[in-house]
Structure 1
């Protein structure tokens, strides 16, 4: 389930996902499936963004809900945060891992309007953050704090009518 709210130049994304029971193909027979009925993942993720240039439409880039009539770009500072839990039963013991993450990104998008309806949009998104994890199985537990970084590149092109 995903919820996106646009309020002027502010954008708020919230996502919830829960999956239970997994299968893996393969094994001694080609058609054999191994079941993991107690394996679960649950995650809550969010992002809060601000589009600095009011003449740039992020709705056009991501959702094709607006028309970007003139070439424009914008820096979009974004705070991303989330929680994920992975759990299972291993040899009768409860296994669980909790992950908490936070990062700051400086997204940049530029829409080149080539003709009246054609456009090309390159994007760049470097991010830095922290992730805290705790893992437990039976009476064993470990905690880690990790430094995270990422670089996402994008290229969108299309026709608006």
Structure 2
């Protein structure tokens, strides 16, 4: 039992050290300056976005980043048969998972521009899950733009 307690204490100390290093890396990275100003994103979400999207300068437009994240629409059809429009899910599953949690948080967060966008889509008649996917897609576009340009986050532009 003592060995397990020692291992737990050691693991907790390592986690604390890693979280401090992660915060230090985020604060020194110039590409994450605008992301840190977004109340919808926490430090772990910013780290995953930065790691999974990589160097965003390789994307000519934000639509390429959206497709890279697997948030673009894929329509399967053949001749007269028309299938359903679905997400392509070609990109990183971890990135989509973090975007999902960030989108859920933004809906519950008071004064969030993404939450207002979600409410607007639901009021227009879009299903809740489809509106959530639209928020995730918008988050990829906004975060890519902020990382490319180094601008400050402005909720009015969302």
After TM superposition, is the score higher than 0.5? no
Q: Which has the higher strand share?
A: 1
Largest Rg, 1 or 2: 1
Larger RCO, structure (CA 8 Å, separation 6 or more):
2
TM-score bracket, shorter-length normalisation: under 0.3
Q: Which has the higher helix share?
A: 2
Q: Provide the TM-score with structure 2 as the length reference.
A: 0.19
